[in-house]
Structure 1
Amino acid sequence: MNYCRIFFLYLLAKEGWEMKFLGIGIIVSLATLIISWLVGNPETTVNALLIIGLIPMAISALFAGVFISGDRMRGNYSGKDDFRERMGISTKLFLLGLPSLLTAFAVYFIMT
Structure 2
Amino acid sequence: MLQRSGPVISAILLVALELVALPTAPPALAQASLNVGIAIGTPPPAPMPEPVPAARPGYVWAPGYWAWQEGRHVWRPGRWLAERPGYRWESDRWHHDHDGWRHDPGHWVRG
What TM bracket, shorter-length normalisation?
under 0.3
**Richer in strand (by share):** 2
**Richer in helix (by share):** 1
Q: TM-score, normalised by structure 1?
A: 0.24
Higher relative contact order (CA 8 A, sep 6+): 1
| Bigger Cα Rg | 2
